[in-house]
Amino acid sequence: MRRLVPCALLLVAFLCLIASCTRRSPLKSDDPAPSPAPQRTQYTIAATLRAEEKTLSVESEILYACPIDELAAVKLRLYANAYAEGNVVVTEDKVAATYPGGKISTGGAEILEATADGQSAPYDLGQGGTLMTLRLPRKYKRGETIRLTVTERVTLANCRHRLGYADGYYFLSDFYPVLCPFREGKYLSYDYTPYGDPFLQETADFALDLTLPLGCECAASSPAERREKQGSAERLSYTLKGARDFAAVCSEKLRYTEDSSAGFPVRYYYENDPKKADTLARVVKAVTEYASLFGEYPYPAYTVVAAPFFEAGVEHSGLSVLSSALSVAERGEVILHETAHQWWFGKVGSDGYRDAWMDEGLAEYTVALSYKRAGATAAYRAKLRAAEDAFSVRYAIKGAEGARFDRTLTEMADGYYDRVYSGGLLLFASLAAKVGEDALISALRAYATEYAGAVATPEDLIRSLSDSLGEDLSSFFTARLSCALPID
Ligand SMILES: [Zn+2]
């Protein structure tokens, strides 16, 4: 996210399982035969947007490998209910940018049916309706495949947020149930905070059939593999493996331009951009440069869409959303930041709630590095100076405890931007000054390779960089994260 403020047999069986579940209607799974456990969770989703009702009907099938013995219930996030009455998705200062006319609008998910292995499954909703605890028909053993289905009717709020509609656009992320990560014997379920990205997203394989009104163009986490007209609607079929999420932005107003010089399709969707070729070239340059610095881009395609979004931008696997309200200069920086997230979020996951400094700090450092390597010395210095100013002011007013950024989003609250983005950038910039820029780039490339597809902890990052750089960096990180030493 970027704020708008300046700123062999089993393998065959596994492949058969994938082939069978990607083409099956999610709720027609009456095959009782036990399946081998999939290596990654598989989401097979059929969603239909009803534009006149501003609703999305969603049928999801989830194939999930049981994480422990004796599992009796599974926890899923229903982020669509973050938009339900009584919940808050933005801070007060963002209401005008998020809701057309500044009028708060609500939405939510109505659960029509939930099943586990073909049997109706009882469930409870908690955390403002965003946490679904679904009881299983029996206790499962570790490694067994659990087949879950959830049928929902999602009402979209009138907002320019992750999920909603506004200005002729539909923002479709987090519209399907998401399995909670399982750590140390229990499911994690963080508060849905109105700031930052309060998610820890593990990689999964996605197959989505999205039915849209005819004439709606759709920027998504991957290009559509098939498009099929159905009366006044069109069904678009997608697959994406090893992704943190699957998201789309749809509108009749969108068109796109494409370039394949990076070795894979790079698309730019826009409504009105007289410099669309320049914008696309910036996206291609960013993705090409980052691949050369940090290793292979993790998805088969990359798409950027300019849309009336409430923040400057947000990242999804294979897709970045940019606010269409940005100036040319702002857009250039947001492209650099969100594209960096394809490595620091997409390729290497981290806990966006507990360790937000990891992907935001690395994304901001990557932007600064890109300026420096392009010879844009003034932009590089200005970026570092802005971070130093923001962080030092916070440190002066709030002290070390109010500036340290090894804290959760809830603990940092509205101070998270200066702490996580500015503090994170300064941390990696001072590390580059300490060990050398080229050495740090090599170490980050090794880290990205080692943790590709995984979720890295701060300890993983520190250990990996220490190994690569031949120096124990534990005390360096601890001192700076906790502000025991001012960041220079
Ligand atoms: Zn970000």
Distance 338 CA to ligand 1 centre (A): 6
pLDDT of residue 48: 98
Output the domain CATH number for residue 247. Answer: 2.60.40.1730
| Average pLDDT of the residues in 367-392 | 96
Distance 227 CA to ligand 1 centre (A): 32
Taking the mean position of all CA atoms in its chain, how far away is CA 161?
A: 13
Question: Average per-residue pLDDT in the chain?
Answer: 92
* Calpha distance 367→201 (Å, rounded): 23
Q: Of 251, 272, 289, which residue is a domain's last?
A: 251
Distance 229 CA to ligand 1 centre (A): 37
Contacts of 370 (CB under 8 A, 6+ apart): 286, 289, 290, 336
Give the domain extent around 314. 256-340
Residue 348 lies in a domain: no
Residue 158 lies in a domain: yes
Token code pair at residue 454: 């995984």
Please indicate, yes or no, whether residues 201 and 269 belong to a single structural domain of this protein.
no
Closest CA to 280 of 339, 209, 210: 339
Distance 194 CA to ligand 1 centre (A): 15
* Calpha distance 456→203 (Å, rounded): 12
pLDDT of residue 8: 39
pLDDT band at 36 (very low <50, low <70, confident <90, very high): low
Closest CA to 193 of 162, 166, 158, 152: 162
Distance 360 CA to ligand 1 centre (A): 5
Distance 313 CA to ligand 1 centre (A): 8
pLDDT of residue 155: 98
pLDDT of residue 4: 61
Please indicate, yes or no, whether residues 334 and 370 belong to a single structural domain of this protein.
no
Residue 232 lies in a domain: yes
Convert the pLDDT of each residue in 414-451 to its tens digit. Answer: 788 889 999 999 999 999 999 999 999 999 999 999 99
Distance 472 CA to ligand 1 centre (A): 28
Residue 61 lies in a domain: yes
pLDDT of residue 2: 73
Convert the pLDDT of each residue in 248-299 to its tens digit. Answer: 999 999 999 999 999 999 999 999 999 999 999 999 999 999 999 999 999 9
Please indicate, yes or no, whether residues 244 and 290 belong to a single structural domain of this protein.
no
Distance 43 CA to ligand 1 centre (A): 25
Distance 314 CA to ligand 1 centre (A): 7
User: In this predicted structure, which of 15-24, 191-200, 338-347 has the lowest mean pLDDT?
Assistant: 15-24
Distance 424 CA to ligand 1 centre (A): 11
Distance 55 CA to ligand 1 centre (A): 29
Q: Of 313, 340, 367, which residue is a domain's last?
A: 340
Convert the pLDDT of each residue in 68-98 to its tens digit. Answer: 999 999 999 999 999 999 999 999 999 999 9
Please indicate, yes or no, whether residues 191 and 295 belong to a single structural domain of this protein.
no
Closest CA to 421 of 361, 362, 481: 361
Distance 475 CA to ligand 1 centre (A): 26
pLDDT of residue 27: 41
Residue 486 lies in a domain: no
The neighbouring-strand residues paired with 196 are: none
Distance 311 CA to ligand 1 centre (A): 11
pLDDT above 90 (res 28): no
pLDDT of residue 23: 34
Distance 417 CA to ligand 1 centre (A): 10
Output the domain CATH number for residue 328. Answer: 3.30.2010.30
Closest CA to 35 of 156, 143, 107, 134: 143
Convert the pLDDT of each residue in 222-231 to its tens digit. Answer: 999 999 999 9
pLDDT of residue 33: 52
Residue 4 lies in a domain: no
Residue 445 lies in a domain: yes
Distance 464 CA to ligand 1 centre (A): 22
Closest CA to 303 of 199, 368, 224: 224
Distance 12 CA to ligand 1 centre (A): 39
Distance 304 CA to ligand 1 centre (A): 14
Do 199 and 352 contact (CB within 8 A), yes or no?
yes
Please indicate, yes or no, whether residues 385 and 318 belong to a single structural domain of this protein.
no
Distance 19 CA to ligand 1 centre (A): 35
Please indicate, yes or no, whether residues 265 and 278 belong to a single structural domain of this protein.
yes
What is the number of alpha carbons within 13 Å of residue 427 lying toward its C-beta? 33
Please indicate, yes or no, whether residues 131 and 226 belong to a single structural domain of this protein.
yes
pLDDT above 70 (res 5): no
Distance 173 CA to ligand 1 centre (A): 16
Of 487 and 199, more confident: 199
Please indicate, yes or no, whether residues 276 and 170 belong to a single structural domain of this protein.
no
Q: Of 184, 217, 251, which residue is a domain's last?
A: 251
Distance 289 CA to ligand 1 centre (A): 18
Convert the pLDDT of each residue in 139-168 to its tens digit. Answer: 999 999 999 999 999 999 999 999 999 999
pLDDT band at 9 (very low <50, low <70, confident <90, very high): very low
Q: In total, how many domains does the chain have? A: 3
Contacts of 153 (CB under 8 A, 6+ apart): 55, 56, 57, 58, 109, 110, 112
Residue 1 lies in a domain: no
| Average pLDDT of the residues in 160-181 | 97
pLDDT above 50 (res 25): no
Percent of the chain, pLDDT > 90? 84
Distance 246 CA to ligand 1 centre (A): 17
pLDDT of residue 90: 94
What is the number of alpha carbons within 13 Å of residue 473 lying toward its C-beta? 25
| Average pLDDT of the residues in 34-63 | 89
pLDDT of residue 417: 87
Distance 389 CA to ligand 1 centre (A): 19
Distance 242 CA to ligand 1 centre (A): 20
Distance 318 CA to ligand 1 centre (A): 14
Taking the mean position of all CA atoms in its chain, how far away is CA 192?
A: 14
Please indicate, yes or no, whether residues 245 and 261 belong to a single structural domain of this protein.
no
Output the domain CATH number for residue 403. Answer: 1.10.390
Please indicate, yes or no, whether residues 261 and 242 belong to a single structural domain of this protein.
no
Please indicate, yes or no, whether residues 169 and 309 belong to a single structural domain of this protein.
no
Decide: residue 229, CB within 10 A, 0-12 exposed, 13-18 middle, 19+ buried: exposed
Distance 342 CA to ligand 1 centre (A): 10
Distance 353 CA to ligand 1 centre (A): 13
Please indicate, yes or no, whether residues 296 and 361 belong to a single structural domain of this protein.
no
